[in-house]
Structure 1
Amino acid sequence: MAATELLKANRLYRFKKLDILDDNLRCKLPEAYKKFYREWRLTVPSPVNYIPRSEKWERNPETGVVSPVQNIPILPKYPDESHKGLWGGEGVVDGLIQKNKKYYPKTPHFWFPQLKRSVIYSEILNRFMSTIVTNRTINLILDNNGLDHYLLKSKACDIQSELGVKLKRKMLLALYNKDLYNDDPVKKEQVYNKYKDYLVDYSKEDIEWYGLNMYEALMKLENDAEAVSPQPMKHLFRKQLIDQLKQELIDEMTTSATLKAETSKRSWLSKINPFSSSQESPKTK
């Protein structure tokens, strides 16, 4: 009986894990954006600063004690500057360093990636761009045979750059709409056939919401809601009344002009008509 009551208590206090997408305002975002946001912010990126071990157990060579292998990921910090370039998933790593175990205590230390300015080229966008990159970024571009393959293959959590995910969004939009090399049909088909397989995992709605930060997504949600929201009937009735009054005014002005023209014509004819009743007959002497 005690075990049953304990199970009920655990079920009662098993609260749902908080999710930023469950907020009153963010929960209205479409599933397409939630899919991107989970890939971007809520997915553990591929290891960059450490090599995970595949084995589950290890033996201490000195004591012979067997213990489980602990793969603790080193999660770097991404400053605002990282979103203005392509760092290839690298970031700032903070930790402790000890120069001499005997005489010096551990002190905080930061490891920064080596940054350089370079020119990158997108075949889909047919555009050269100058931006800040790292050696890892250059190696990833070379290993994937170009910037386009690198960005289209990588998840948002591995790109870790707003510039990178927005470039990926532009590439997907250009492929989906076939808006590339419009002045060269042959090159257009070649480039499209080369990268069209990347569209399999995305729908039109996924591409429209891909690469937007939270502020941009909420603004897009508000604008879309205003565009499709029904207008009050009073606006429709007001417009109909205004159109009716305008038409009545036009008809009235047209009728008045016609009457004036007919009156003027009659008066002109009466002056030149000798048999008109208004013409005075000559007096006899």
Structure 2
Amino acid sequence: MISSSMASSFKNISMKYNVIAENLKRAPKPKNVTFRGKAKKDPMEIYQDGIGSRLPQAYFKWNRIGYEPSPVHWIDKGVDWEKDPVTGDRKRVNRVPIDIHYPPESRMGLWGGEGWIAGYRKSKGDRGVRLKKTWKPRIANRNLYSEILDKKFEIQTTNRVMDLIDEAYGFDFYILQTPAEDLNSLVGMVLKRHLLLRLANPQDMYPDDPQRRDKICNKYKRFVIPKEEAEWVGLTPAEAFAKQRQIEAGADPIRPLQELYTDELIAKYKEHKEKSDGLFTFSKEEEEKAKPFLQRFFGSGSKSKDDGTSV
């Protein structure tokens, strides 16, 4: 039997719930409800104008900016629908990717696409309280040998990378044939650039052993590209912008206006003297003596900066 006190408490609770329900009915409801997540920044935004829009196609071809990496922590069947093997009905495939966090340490090693996964676990096996947990791959320092560069490198790698190197039949093959989005490593892309540059200039490879050099060149001949293209592989945006500025400055150097006006005035003065006296010749020594006077005339306070612009 329920006592009178318990019955009165249940009655009060039910009355409170009824009041809350009535207030919710009278409350104004929004017409459109939208859920906005955190918008992802477009990686190609910095290349749409300015110096980024003038970068060569070789930079985008090898760095593959904006490409999604191959799934590592989940299986993507590549289709949205499939046939049920038991009933034969058409069912939808769950293609929800796992959110992976790539820490800065992954860029300084070879993780093979693995990263940190944030999730939850139970405190007592399959039961208990749900607790936060982050799964991290196991990292170890390993010595990897490159036969193209003839050097050993100590790099932090995962067990998956070692399996991928075995599947590719060598460390150099793994670095050369793996796309940039799957490498996801600054160290890996720098190694790829050095490997391609060495293949583009085979004279620097094994100078004391020409037979081994010919053997390695024949082994990796399908990866040979021009040196001008290999120089853009693995460059960061800041390095690519600096390289493009240097190329443009060398093709069209900017001279200070003081030098241009000085040369122009000397040419006009020389032309005037030749017209007035046909026997007069303006030697180089006289030109050098006249320049300081003309510079003082225009003002000696303007100096050129390192970037070629005048102040």
Question: Common fold, TM-score beyond 0.5?
Answer: yes
1:170 alignment partner, one of 173, 194, 206:
194
Name the structure 2 match of 1:221.
Answer: 244
Contact 2:168 2:174 in 1 (8 A): yes
Tell me the residue number matched to 2:183.
159
Contact 1:83-1:163 at 8 Å conserved across structures: yes
SS of aligned partner of 1:110? strand
| Alignment: residue pair count | 228
Query: Residues 147, 234 of structure 1: CA spacing in aligned structure 2 closer, same or farther, 3 A cutoff?
Result: same
Query: Whose Rg is larger?
Result: 1
Superposed CA offset, 1:53-77 (max 9, x none):
356325498x997531022223422
Aligned equivalent of 2:228:
205
Query: Which of these residues, 161, 168, 174, is aligned with residue 150 of structure 1?
Result: 174
Which blocks of at least 5 consecutive residues in structure 1 are unaligned?
A: 1-16, 250-285
Aligned match of 2:298: none
Structure 1: 4+ residue segments shifted above 6 A: none
1:120 matched residue in structure 2: 144
Q: Deviations over 1:6-26 (max 9, x none)?
A: xxxxxxxxxxx8832214342
User: Which of 173, 184, 191 is the aligned partner of 2:216?
Assistant: 191
Contact kept? 2:146, 2:172, Cα under 8 Å: yes
Match of 1:182 in 2: 207
Q: Tell me the equivalent position of 1:57.
A: 82
Once the two structures are aligned, what percentage of the paired residues are identical?
A: 34
Alpha-carbon distance between aligned partners in 2 of 1:226 and 1:54, rounded to the nearest angstrom: 47
* Cα distance change of structure 1 residues 223 and 69 upon mapping to structure 2, 3 Å threshold: same
In 2: Cα distance, 1:18 partner to 1:119 partner: 33
Which structure shows the higher helix fraction?
A: 1
What is the match of residue 95 of structure 1? 119
5+ residue gaps, structure 2: 1-41, 267-281, 289-311
CA distance in 2, matches of 1:152, 1:112: 26
Look up the match of 1:129.
Answer: 153
2:102 is equivalent to residue 78 of structure 1: yes
SS in structure 2 at match of 1:108: strand
What secondary structure sits across from 1:104 in the alignment? strand
* AA matched with 1:195: Y
